[in-house]
Amino acid sequence: MLDKIGSFLYHKVFVNIYIKDDSLSVYIEKKNIKGTISSEEKSFKTIMLDKDIINFISFFTKDTPYFYISLLDSSITQGAAPTCEHIDMNKFYDKALSKYGCYKNKWSYYTSKHDLDEIDNNFRDFGLDFIFSPFVILTRFFQDKIDTNLSIFLLIQESSITLSIFDNSELLFAQYLNLKSDFDDDNFSIDDDNDDEVSLDDIPEESIDLDSVDVDDALDDLDVFGDIEDLDSIEEIEEFTDIDDDLEEEIISDKKSNKNHSLSENEELFDEDYQMFTAIQSSIKIFYEDERYNSKFIESIYIADSIGVSGDLKSYLEEEMFLSVFIRQINLGSEISELAQAEIT
């Protein structure tokens, strides 16, 4: 009863935070019982909570007790696995070093305990209500396609790619690609899923509440996802996963012919596009070759674009991997806010 009275007296404020390369963006959404009153977004040249960020958030939250602070997880050691069954989880990540949750009792997403402790420490002066996995954001954003397609699904941010493969709502494969750490001196290296990774222990279905998470609680109420069948290797995939020796030379040549950019701009665009393309291709190769995954031949890819990807990336995927590419723009702040609102209703 008091909550209902409070909803008439006070508006609700949703504070949504996500990392953009070397900056931190805060998206504020103010709502009342009729809907959204206003929204505002501001970026700060830091990835740590500082006085300017606190003052900005406090300006919107000071007049109401009903405010909720959410963060999109950007931890390097995170991922998702095609199972919620305890006995199978360690095939994909180390449960002892991770906090994990299950999405609709079908598949799990995880983050390292160490990374979550660092996040908690960074926000100790303000506190977080939710930490959301980008795999959950991606799944909700493309739910209409995931339910009816066998496809690759990507969430592209400035310095990371969240990659999932679904077959009619069944997760087959997932990997979080941190472009900054995975590319060192132009040598690409994808972290193996068996590395010391992360997880989200006994948490609400689609979020991590840092105040309530008990990493020792069992997820006894989770349904068994089921065994993952091993498929015979697909010989045809080699032509789609192997890069021709002269591909990089051809791409550089194409870049130099572009009259709309300076040479330095061309080189920067090449670096970004080619790194993303290589990361995606290498990840898909793992899906096809790793016996832990139920490999199936993929012909399409859906991209949730938060940065404005260039046409070059689309061309690489179409011409070198023979994929049908579909791009949909995503507003990360708004998507995080929607997820937070779903959590409190």
- Spans of all domains in the chain: 2-72
- How confident is the model at residue 127, as a pLDDT? 87
At 270, the pLDDT band (50, 70, 90 cuts) reads low
Output 37 or 194, whichever has higher pLDDT: 37
Residue 38 pLDDT > 50 = yes
Q: From residue 192, give the alpha-carbon distance in Å to each of 71, 86, 198, 214.
A: 25, 20, 13, 27
Q: From residue 63, give the alpha-carbon distance in Å to each of 1, 30, 60, 67, 237.
A: 21, 12, 7, 10, 58
At 268, the pLDDT band (50, 70, 90 cuts) reads low
Question: Rounded to whole angstroms, how far apart are CA atoms 39 and 198?
Answer: 33
Question: Rounded to whole angstroms, how far apart are CA atoms 252 and 269?
Answer: 10
Q: Give the rounded distance of the alpha carbon of 231 from its chain centre.
A: 27
Compute the Cα dihedral for 154, 156, 162, 163 and give only its sign.
positive
Q: What letter does residue 192 receive in the DSSP assignment?
A: P
Question: pTM of the full predicted structure?
Answer: 0.76
Contacts for 186 with CB less than 8 Å, ≥ 6 apart: none
- How confident is the model at residue 198, as a pLDDT? 39
**Residue 301: other Cβ atoms inside 10 A:** 22
The string of pLDDT tens digits covering residues 65-111 is 999 999 999 999 999 999 999 999 999 999 999 999 999 999 999 99
At 172, the pLDDT band (50, 70, 90 cuts) reads very high
How confident is the prediction for the chain on average, in pLDDT?
Answer: 81
Q: What letter does residue 208 receive in the DSSP assignment?
A: B
Element (H, E) at 314: helix 311-320
* Nearest residue to 108 via CA among 128, 129, 138, 88: 88
- Class (C level, CATH) for 2-72: alpha beta
At 163, the pLDDT band (50, 70, 90 cuts) reads very high
At 118, the pLDDT band (50, 70, 90 cuts) reads very high
Residue 257 pLDDT > 70 = no
At 345, the pLDDT band (50, 70, 90 cuts) reads confident
At 328, the pLDDT band (50, 70, 90 cuts) reads very high
* Nearest residue to 222 via CA among 40, 130, 87: 87
**Residue 133: other Cβ atoms inside 10 A:** 30
Q: What letter does residue 22 receive in the DSSP assignment?
A: T
- How confident is the model at residue 218, as a pLDDT? 36
Out of 212-226, 246-260, 283-297, least confident range: 212-226
Question: Rounded to whole angstroms, how far apart are CA atoms 202 and 190?
Answer: 28
* Nearest residue to 200 via CA among 278, 99, 280, 111: 99
The string of pLDDT tens digits covering residues 178-234 is 998 654 444 333 344 444 443 434 444 444 443 444 434 433 333 333 333 333 333
